[in-house]
Amino acid sequence: MRKKKCTVLDCRGLVIFASRHIIQVKVEPIAVKRPTILVLGAGYGGLSTVVNLQKSLGTDEAEVILVNKNDYHYESTWLHEAAAGTLSPEQVRYDISRVIKKDKVTFVKAEVRSIDVNGKTVGTTAGDFTYDYLVIALGFEGETFGIPGLDKYALSIANVNAARQIREHIEYQFATWSTEDVKADSRLTIIVGGAGFTGIEFLGELGDRIPKLCEEFDVPADKVKVLCVEAAPMVLPGFDPELVDYAVRQLKSKGIEFSIGTPVVEATPEGVKLKKGEDEFEFIEAGTVVWAAGVRGNRLIEETGIENMRARVKVDKDLRAPGYSDVFIVGDCALMINEEANRPYPPTAQIAMQQGDMCANNIIALMKQQPTSPFVPDLKGSIASLGSSDAIGVAFGKKMTGAKASFMKKMVDNRALYLIGGAPLTIKKGKFDFL
Amino acid sequence: MRKKKCTVLDCRGLVIFASRHIIQVKVEPIAVKRPTILVLGAGYGGLSTVVNLQKSLGTDEAEVILVNKNDYHYESTWLHEAAAGTLSPEQVRYDISRVIKKDKVTFVKAEVRSIDVNGKTVGTTAGDFTYDYLVIALGFEGETFGIPGLDKYALSIANVNAARQIREHIEYQFATWSTEDVKADSRLTIIVGGAGFTGIEFLGELGDRIPKLCEEFDVPADKVKVLCVEAAPMVLPGFDPELVDYAVRQLKSKGIEFSIGTPVVEATPEGVKLKKGEDEFEFIEAGTVVWAAGVRGNRLIEETGIENMRARVKVDKDLRAPGYSDVFIVGDCALMINEEANRPYPPTAQIAMQQGDMCANNIIALMKQQPTSPFVPDLKGSIASLGSSDAIGVAFGKKMTGAKASFMKKMVDNRALYLIGGAPLTIKKGKFDFL
């Protein structure tokens, strides 16, 4: 009855009916064993793998399971902004449910506890999972190189929670200084350990943030000290020296001090001890110590038995773990050598996302008994921000500084959002403050 | 020449000319000794005194000097909001320069160090000042009744700096909990000592704020505990029992717990020890302890030799300190007995502002060798807020609760701004969120 009515009255009615009809007569396929693809981690690498899998796979071709500690993804390359307090933590993350298709991917909010690559089982706080293909995309952890006290007394820009804690810690120090009768000026000293990418970007944000903190908490600007300490004899290794000079000059103009070639040998509740010479040490009191000097892969890697260096695995060209044809590793836990430069590619979001893309392709190839493809990074450049309106870097083969570089940096950030979440997410969480 | 031109061309010209003429021919008065009126403190009492003096006095009649620790006035009755984080500290204060007339009042940013009422000298961090009339309006300090540990381990809603520290302290506890592997849930426990006016208003704000903090820092709401502990057997002494019941019910509905008739006997870095019975004690672990259970006058009063009780002086009817004809005391350092109720008037902003008004009148009367007038409080009621949209109280003789009382409370807050700073300040800093 209804069918007739619809066809007569409205051509759109037919479509509605047709779709209903399909659902009604749909014959369930004979249950065949679909392969289970288990993806651990929803960072750049893991989420990129899942998004590319769901693009290419039909609903019934595989069981894709994504396991992540939080129900959100965060932009780990933006965490220094949340840590400095220049960007809200909310702006740094988005719900995983926004980017996965529920009919193709099952999301499990759980923490991974163990990975058994021989028994093909992953233990999590939500139970054990078996797999046909495993993608390990568990990201980085901070590396303190065994320096005593750092684990306990230094903060690290490791995730959203940690970044928030740094912001709150600094604000609390400023607030407390203002209430003290006898003022401990060292509360207002912030030591940043490391003059690499993260350290420099964090210093850039602090340069923007400190004047605002001084105003908010009635702290005279000359009481605040921000000091970057670095063991290596240089700032931003790998960057063009001209760009490095620019960066250091700009940061110094914002009052940031540098102590280069001076390793931290100990951290205490009061500050850090620096090695200034052969037998020469200096203790610097500081209310806040942020350690941004090293990263390593996830510790669970070390328990798998797969050969690794600081929990990073030198993966095969197709991104598989050597000796395990069903285990892929992408992102910061994967180590690949840049043969031109004869050193590892840095653990960047750019490479992690490209790896996710290739990892998805290679899993699908294996499912179809086709050969896998080698992963070749497509390096588009690297830009380090120096606060909200300044940056340095190389993009499309060109060196750039200042407002132009800052604009490019924001475009790079927006691109990461776009690649995983498309336009709506980019508009919601992207950076458009250059307008 | 010019005079003629003006009178012919334009009648307004005459006025301009006349005014110029007056300035030109003005004869400087023979230098007579103008009395110095020294006002200590720019709280409700002090600022109200100064504003009323500058209204009534001509530029040459007196030298009015206002000494205050900060170059801003803050609404001490709003501090619980800044402490809970529901109102920005900026919204709670305004620059003193906005309300004083520079040709009539000299503002000195300095901390008062000593008051010598016999030698008529006040020592400050900006030097010594002598006076003909002194107005002591130094406000309240927290009173910890000698309970061990409270001075050191409890926070107090004493001023803008302290309120900011409480907000930051709570946020830092939440941020730290989120980063911890082994979570110390007691970090999320907030103990509020005191179920009087300030304690209850602060709890009301916490009731609004906690759900937002939970969301911001990814803390499950059921992990948070807010407990009000009170030594006395009742909540909000002096308030109508029906209103008190309403307040407690509303706060409990927001998850706030009460432990009444249980004095705090000790505070430690881990929490507080409560006396639950004759020989029965309970230790409650808490990351945050806010002491809101008692106020006293400023400690400097105790060094003046003027008779006092907890640094509050039972002033004469005209607000002068007994035995000192040139010393006025207004605000929280002044003690006046409400003879009807046979107990002291509470230290409120309402009374402090009325006292400032009368104090200015009486100083002017003394300058003119006229008799002073007695101060009689004009009690318009009392409203305690329970968060941003709820309150209880009595105004114009009527009991009220809920949205209506909350609206009245905001009007009371705006009125304090209006009385001291007029309409522009009220518009800039007032509370209009009921719209």
Beta carbons of A162 and B168 less than 8 Å apart: no
- Residue B183 at interface with chain A, using a CB cutoff of 8 Å: no
Write a three-state SS string for chain A.
Answer: CHHHHHHHHCHHHHHHHHHHHHHHHCCCCCCCCCCEEEEECCCHHHHHHHHHHHHHCCCCCCEEEEEECCCEEECHHHHHHHHHCCCCHHHHEEEHHHCCCCCCEEEEECCEEEEECCCCEEEECCEEEECCEEEECCCEEECCCCCCCHHHHCEECCCHHHHHHHHHHHHHHHHHHHHCCCCCHHHHEEEEECCCHHHHHHHHHHHHHHHHHHHHHCCCHHHCEEEEEECCCCCCCCCCHHHHHHHHHHHHHCCEEEEECCCEEEEECCEEEEEEECCEEEEEECCEEEECCCEEECHHHHHCCCCCECCEEECCCCCECCCCCCEEECHHHEECEECCCCEECCCCHHHHHHHHHHHHHHHHHHHCCCCCCCCCCCCCEEEEECCCCCEEEEECCEEEEHHHHHHHHHHHHHHHHHHHHHHHHHHHHCCCCCC
Model pLDDT, residue B417: 87
* B73 vs B61: CA distance, rounded Å: 26
* Residues of chain A contacting residue B164, judged by C-beta atoms under 8 Å apart: 175, 178-179, 217
Q: How confident is the model at residue A18 (pLDDT cuts 50, 70, 90)?
A: very low
Q: How confident is the model at residue A45 (pLDDT cuts 50, 70, 90)?
A: very high
Catalytic residue check, B61 = no
- Catalytic residue, candidates A201, A215, A280, A285: A201
Place of tokens 């500084």: A401
- Residue A91 at interface with chain B, using a CB cutoff of 8 Å: no
Comparing CB atoms, the residue among A164, A174, A216 nearest residue B175 is A164
- Decide if pLDDT at B391 tops 70: yes
Q: B residues 59-78 near A, CB within 8 Å?
A: 70
Lowest average pLDDT, out of A192-196, A286-290, A402-406, B421-425, goes to B421-425
Domains, chain A, with CATH or none: 36-141+296-379 (3.50.50.100), 150-293 (3.50.50.60), 380-435 (no CATH)
> Vertex A120, ends A116 and A121: CA angle to 5°?
65
pLDDT tens digits, B269-290: 999 999 999 999 999 999 999 9
- Residue A218 at interface with chain B, using a CB cutoff of 8 Å: yes
Model pLDDT, residue A296: 93
- Residue B125 at interface with chain A, using a CB cutoff of 8 Å: no
Model pLDDT, residue B31: 55
pLDDT tens digits, A174-233: 999 999 989 999 999 999 999 999 999 999 999 999 999 999 999 999 999 999 999 999
ipTM, 2 decimals? 0.70
Comparing CB atoms, the residue among B164, B168, B179 nearest residue A162 is B179
CB A257 within 8 A of CB A207: no
pLDDT tens digits, A367-405: 999 999 999 999 888 999 999 999 999 988 889 999 989
* Residue type at position A342: N
Question: For residue B119, what are the contacts with CB-CB under 8 A and spacing of at least 6?
Answer: none
Tell me what the mean pLDDT of segment A80-106 comes to: 94
Structure-derived torsion over alpha carbons of residues A240, A242, A244, A248, reported in degrees to the nearest 10: 180
Q: To the nearest whole percent, how much of chain B has pLDDT over 90?
A: 78
Model pLDDT, residue B370: 96
Question: For residue B183, what are the contacts with CB-CB under 8 A and spacing of at least 6?
Answer: B177
Q: Pick the residue with more confidence: A15 or B144?
A: B144
DSSP run (H or E) holding B275: strand B271-275
- Residue B178 at interface with chain A, using a CB cutoff of 8 Å: yes
* Residues of chain B contacting residue A174, judged by C-beta atoms under 8 Å apart: 168
* Residues of chain B contacting residue A89, judged by C-beta atoms under 8 Å apart: 216
- Decide if pLDDT at A61 tops 60: yes
DSSP lists the bridge partners of residue A124 as A112, A127
Beta carbons of B169 and A169 less than 8 Å apart: no
If you average pLDDT over every residue of chain B, what do you get?
90
CB B200 within 8 A of CB B77: no
* Residues of chain A contacting residue B70, judged by C-beta atoms under 8 Å apart: 218
Model pLDDT, residue A59: 86
